[in-house]
Amino acid sequence: MPVIEYKCPNCGSGMVFDSTTGSLSCPSCGRQDNIEQIPDPLKKQVFTENEVKQYHCNSCGADIVTEPETSATTCSFCGAAVVLSDRLTGDLAPVKVIPFSISKEQAKQAFKKWCRNGLLTPSGFMSADRIQNITGMYVPFWLYELHNKIEVHGRGTKVRTYTQGDYHYTETQHFDIYRKIRLNYVNLPIDASEKMKDELMDKLEPFPYNELKEFKTPYLAGYIAEKYSYTDEELYPRAKEKTRSYIDSYIASTVSGYNSVSYTDKQIDTTLKNADYVLLPVWMVYYDFNRSQYTFAMNGQTGKVVGKPPISKAKVAGWFAGVSAVSLLSLKLVSWMMGGGFL
Amino acid sequence: MKQAKQLVMVTTLLMMVFGLAFSFLTVQTVSAAESKNLIYDEANLLSEQEKSELNGLANEYGAERQTDFIIFTSNNEEHKNEELLTEDFYDERAPGYDKAHGNTVILTLDMYNRKMYLAGFYKGEEYIDNGRAVKITAKIAPDVTDGNYRLAFEKYLDLSYEYMGIKPGVNPDNILFKTWFQLAASLAIGGIVVGVMAYRSGGRVTVNRATYEDSGSSSVIDRQDRYIRTTVTKQKIERNNNNGGGGGGGGGTTRGGHSHSGSSRSF
């Protein structure tokens, strides 16, 4: 039985995850089930991979048409929330999940509010009345724990200038700098979905990790979920790359009091301690404007919206002219107050 | 309709910016109603036409600054020094915008000594103080040396007019007072602000190096800052020895008892 559905024990309707109460709830009779107490059917079953090629909806019997990455979706015929269990077991079993705390309606409102705040977006866009589709999606991420041993050698200078007689003196003290640092990163997220743009996902951070829950399939009921397209080893270089700038700025913070510092040798020894496969909540908003489609992503916990909105040339020109005029006027005022002529 | 309204709004704003800029750039042309002679070209350095053009300009500026801007050239037959020449000119001709022996700025070209002297009297003394007088003479000296008298005199009128619009005691060459700088700076600010707005419209990265750091287990284990050596370089201070002809600030009092500021410079 590779397809899991949650039927209400009271009335038999399909149950879905409710983001406001954080429980599995029945939209018909209102029954609420605590997810942490439901036995997860995944735990009892063992699948061999690629065993199942076709999925059938348990409610209506129709074929469930999905993309190969999808692990949870809704039946396109009857709308029942289904979880494709073989795509969530074995190597593909997520360790943890952050459930949604923002409901679809809240997400829509938050998105509309965000659109109104766009100072450069065309006014037709700001009304946000053409949301084509809004989808709650669990995006696969790897949470890395990286341990770094860093050894840095460098040169630092302290410069002092003074005047004596007819000469300016520049006195430079040279120092040999050495730092040995242990720097560990935990829960560093890297998006493992091929479909999601990396730069979009990077801007969605941070996710509140105190909301991390042990993975249970009912959390996925009613949402779309994907399985990872890249393994933790494949994404390890990207994780290291991401910490690189953090490490550099940490090193810089330990070297203070110098006028200039140059590094002669920087050795960073990174070990991959752990990588957890987690599903993080993202609302995807598809929006039609002027015959082109725009995609936005919203953090399903914090409500942060990212994505490139269209930019109105008229508003850009308006702001440019306005800001320039105000700056010119204030500069004139400053020069006038300093004693210069206003004209 | 909405588009059109926006367009109108934008063009008005743009016009405001440029209108503002140009109104600052172009000096309002005051009709030279009663034009008095302010050019005393006794060394005959200028043509009639040049004289009348400079006179027009001097009258126009003078009316705005309530000060006579005078150009006096002389062959100095009595071989006086340039300062005395200027002082006697003021005493004898009694110029002044407001009254005889009034607000005046005089540029004297002494063709015998090949020296120039710039003096300010009353309001002129207050605004064209010694420091400013030195600046003006230094700026026009190359043109006078080359014999471009017309150009030098025009520069003198422009500079004196400009400096008299700036409160006494303030450095008149401060870049903040320059209209081109103000315009460029405000356009740059506008560009930067809009650029940042456009850049940030897609959302920003709000994590930093501390977000994922496990501060409990991260620390500097070992550090060393070892002093190696000290190097010293020295550079001779350039004393301002007044390059090219030299000039000096210093005013005084005329024999008629009128105090003035001034700067002398050879050419």
Q: Which candidate from B176, B221, B232 shows the least CB-CB separation from A169?
A: B232
- Alpha carbon distances (Å) from A97 to A203, A276, B239: 19, 10, 73
Position A214 in a domain: no
Residues 4 through 43 of chain B touching chain A, CB cutoff 8 Å? 6-7, 9-10, 13-14, 16-17, 20-21, 23-24, 27-28
Q: What is the pLDDT of residues A20-40, one digit of tens each?
A: 888 888 888 888 888 877 776
Q: Quick one: A266 and A185 in the same domain?
A: yes
Q: Which candidate from A186, A317, A319 shows the least CB-CB separation from B197?
A: A319
CA-to-CA distance for A322 and B9, rounded, in angstroms?
Answer: 10
| Confidence grade of residue A55 (pLDDT, cut at 50, 70, 90) | confident
Nearest CA in chain B to A334: B176
Mean pLDDT of chain B: 84
Q: Quick one: A284 and A182 in the same domain?
A: yes
Q: What are phi and psi of B92, to 5 degrees?
A: -75, -45
CA-to-CA distance for A21 and A34, rounded, in angstroms?
Answer: 9
- Give the predicted TM-score (pTM) of the model: 0.71
Residue B242 to chain A, least CA–CA distance (Å): 17
Q: Do A184 and B9 touch (CB under 8 A)?
A: no
Amino acid letter, B34: E
Q: B232 near A170, Cβ under 8 Å?
A: yes
Q: Quick one: A19 and A82 in the same domain?
A: yes
Which chain B residues have a beta carbon less than 8 Å from that of A331?
Answer: 176, 182, 185-186
Point out the domain boundary residue: A47, A73, A97. Answer: A97
Q: Do B223 and A172 touch (CB under 8 A)?
A: no
Which segment of A313-322, B17-26, B80-89 scores lowest on mean pLDDT?
A: B17-26
Q: Quick one: A291 and A328 in the same domain?
A: no
Class for the domain spanning B37-177+248-266:
alpha beta
pLDDT at B8 (0 to 100): 65
CA-to-CA distance for A141 and A193, rounded, in angstroms?
Answer: 7
Q: A70 near A224, Cβ under 8 Å?
A: yes
* Count of beta carbons in the 10 Å neighbourhood of residue B6: 18
Which chain A residues have a beta carbon less than 8 Å from that of B21?
Answer: 328
Residues 155 through 184 of chain B touching chain A, CB cutoff 8 Å? 162, 165-170, 172, 174, 176-177, 182-183
Secondary structure percentages of chain B, helix, strand, coil, to 5: 45, 20, 35
Q: What is the pLDDT of residues A189-244, one digit of tens each?
A: 999 988 888 888 889 989 998 889 888 888 888 898 888 889 989 999 999 999 99
Position A137 in a domain: yes
Q: What is the pLDDT of residues A271-307, one digit of tens each?
A: 999 899 999 999 998 888 878 888 899 999 998 999 8
Residue B170 has pLDDT above 80, yes or no: yes
Q: Quick one: A80 and A190 in the same domain?
A: no
Nearest CA in chain B to A198: B205
pLDDT at A100 (0 to 100): 92
The pair of structure tokens assigned to B238 is 């350039």
Position A39 in a domain: yes
- Residue A320 belongs to domain spanning: 312-343
Point out the domain boundary residue: A97, A127, A146. Answer: A97
Point out the domain boundary residue: A33, A65, A97. Answer: A97
Phi-psi region of A96 (alpha: psi -120 to 50; beta: other; left: phi over 0): beta
Position A208 in a domain: no
The pair of structure tokens assigned to B120 is 């300010």
pLDDT at B5 (0 to 100): 61
ipTM entry: 0.74
Q: Quick one: A145 and A59 in the same domain?
A: no
Residue B33 has pLDDT above 60, yes or no: no
Q: What is the pLDDT of residues B240-259, one digit of tens each?
A: 544 444 556 677 888 888 88
Q: Tell me the average pLDDT across A33-51.
A: 62
Q: Tell me the average pLDDT across B58-83.
A: 90
Phi-psi region of A90 (alpha: psi -120 to 50; beta: other; left: phi over 0): left
Residue A106 has pLDDT above 50, yes or no: yes
Torsion of CA A27, A30, A35, A37, to 10 degrees: -150
Q: Quick one: A79 and A121 in the same domain?
A: no
**How many domains is chain A built from?**
3
Position A209 in a domain: no
| Confidence grade of residue A151 (pLDDT, cut at 50, 70, 90) | very high
pLDDT at A128 (0 to 100): 65
Q: Quick one: A299 and A338 in the same domain?
A: no
Q: Quick one: A178 and A249 in the same domain?
A: yes
Position A219 in a domain: no
Q: Do A179 and B167 touch (CB under 8 A)?
A: no
Which chain B residues have a beta carbon less than 8 Å from that of A327?
Answer: 185-186, 189-190
Q: Quick one: A237 and A155 in the same domain?
A: yes
pLDDT at B220 (0 to 100): 92
**Residue of B3, B9, B162, B186 best to disrupt the A interface, most CBs of A under 10 A:** B186
Which segment of A55-69, A241-255, B56-70, B194-208 scores lowest on mean pLDDT?
A: A55-69
Q: What residue spans define the domains of chain B? A: 37-177+248-266
